[in-house]
Structure 1
Amino acid sequence: MLSPSQTTWVILAGGQASRMGGHDKGLVQLNQMPLIEHVIERLRPQTSHIVINANRNLSTYQAYAPVIKDLFSEYPGPLAGMHAGLTASKNEWVGFVPCDCPRLHKDLVTRFCAHVTDGIDVLVATDGDKQQPVFALMHRRVLPKLTEFLQRGERKLMFFIRECRFQEVDFSDAPECFLNLNTPQELAKFGELTQ
């Protein structure tokens, strides 16, 4: 089994957050704490290798973990953050989670590592109903394919995953761990529920 210590985990906070009114989503407050802190609180006990992908407020994010920027301009989406993470990592396996999921599964890293097998390039989470592609673990060997994919103007994460040898990781026992907060209304509602 792949050890969690052999993986790097990238928190994706590099988007435009247009549905959050353009505010930097990772720094939006939830219960008096930035969203990024909620995610780090869940992820830090699982791995010692955490990196943040961000394209603004870099110095603020650097207080939490090393920061990497997209290498593609104009915010092409989560794949650009994945590309940056795969490019920067010294570990062969690189995991990804979004910055807006405060209920991140407490065994996410171990569960992904347990599913690594020969011949698989990408592991992607499923909630039992559908795939959750921003929760993924990728081998660095997909980097040339991802670079070419982005260079030809493609942006759809699921399309890229389907071009790779992938396997699902089952989280159907805890679908709530994928709850993501995209709008101020969702943020406010979740904050009320957890107080």
Structure 2
Amino acid sequence: MITTQALTGMVLAGGEGRRMGGRDKGLEPFAGLPLFAHTAAKLEGQVAELLISANRNLDAYSMFGRVITDEEVGFHGPLMGIYSGLRAANTPWLLVVPCDTPLLPDDLVARMLAGIQGADIAVAFDGQRIHPTVALIRTALADDLHAALESGERKIQRWYERHAPSQVDISDCPNAFTNLNTQEDKIRLEAQLMAPKGAL
């Protein structure tokens, strides 16, 4: 059983935000909070420490947790962010979530911990496809991931497959992985959240 003290949480907020006009997506206002704060809240009180993977506006993020930057300068994608988190974590396990999925279930941590089932990686599954940026990863895999990155690997799923990941079924929450890539996505979801209950 993985305890809270054995688990670090991390919000991935280090992307370029290209489809958001190059803005820092994690800091985009959404329903009264910066967007990343909604996913951070899903981990609050359930992890030993909260990390935020960011590559700009570090002071703004530092109000919510310990900010880490990519081990290599520049925007190298989420796999580099995951590697940096594995290196920075002081616990045996790292739970990763993206900054742009505010509808993740409130019991996400419990689901991921229950779904690891002896594997080194557990990844969320919506019944049709996996969501690689929602994952529980053993931090001892940092050296293996470093070697993969050195070889040029940048696809998360390919690296996961080397370690026979467990799939955590979250298909009962159909909206859980709604992600906000554009301003239009953000406006649409905000309108849905403000609509009468049951509109989602």
Please say if 1:71 is aligned against 2:71. Answer: yes
Determine if contact 2:20/2:182 at 8 Å carries over to the other structure. Answer: yes
Deviations 1:124-170 (A, max 9, x none): 01001100110000001211111011112211111111111311011
SS where residue 71 of structure 2 aligns?
Answer: coil
What's the offset of the Cα at 1:48? 4.3
Cα distance in 1 for residues equivalent to 2:96 and 2:174: 17
Aligned residues: 194
Determine if contact 1:105/1:177 at 8 Å carries over to the other structure. Answer: yes
Question: Which segments of 5 or more consecutive residues in structure 1 lack a partner in the other structure?
Answer: none
Determine if contact 2:5/2:91 at 8 Å carries over to the other structure. Answer: no
SS where residue 140 of structure 2 aligns?
Answer: helix
Within a 5 Å distance, the mapping from 1:20-169 to structure 2 comes to 20-118=20-118, 120-169=119-168
Amino acid in structure 2 at the alignment position of 1:132: H
Deviations 1:156-193 (A, max 9, x none): 11111111131101101113111110001101111111
Determine if contact 2:52/2:65 at 8 Å carries over to the other structure. Answer: yes
SS where residue 95 of structure 2 aligns?
Answer: strand
What's the offset of the Cα at 1:42? 2.6
Question: Which segments of 5 or more consecutive residues in structure 2 lack a partner in the other structure?
Answer: 195-200
Q: 2:178 is matched with which residue?
A: 179
SS where residue 175 of structure 1 aligns?
Answer: coil
SS where residue 142 of structure 1 aligns?
Answer: helix
Determine if contact 2:52/2:68 at 8 Å carries over to the other structure. Answer: yes
SS where residue 72 of structure 1 aligns?
Answer: coil
TM-score (normalizing by structure 2): 0.92
Amino acid in structure 2 at the alignment position of 1:160: W
Q: 2:8 is matched with which residue?
A: 8
Query: For the structure 1 residues 115 and 132, does the alpha-carbon distance in structure 2 shift closer, same or farther, using more than 3 Å as the test?
Result: same
Cα distance in 1 for residues equivalent to 2:63 and 2:14: 16
Cα distance in 1 for residues equivalent to 2:182 and 2:32: 17
Amino acid in structure 1 at the alignment position of 2:139: R
SS where residue 42 of structure 2 aligns?
Answer: helix
Q: 2:198 is matched with which residue?
A: none
What's the offset of the Cα at 1:194? 1.2
Cα distance in 1 for residues equivalent to 2:185 and 2:117: 37
What's the offset of the Cα at 1:45? 4.1
Q: Which protein has greater RCO, CA pairs closer than 8 Å, 6+ apart?
A: 1
Cα distance in 2 for residues equivalent to 1:193 and 1:175: 15
Q: 2:197 is matched with which residue?
A: none
Determine if contact 1:11/1:52 at 8 Å carries over to the other structure. Answer: yes
Deviating 4+ runs (over 4 angstroms): none
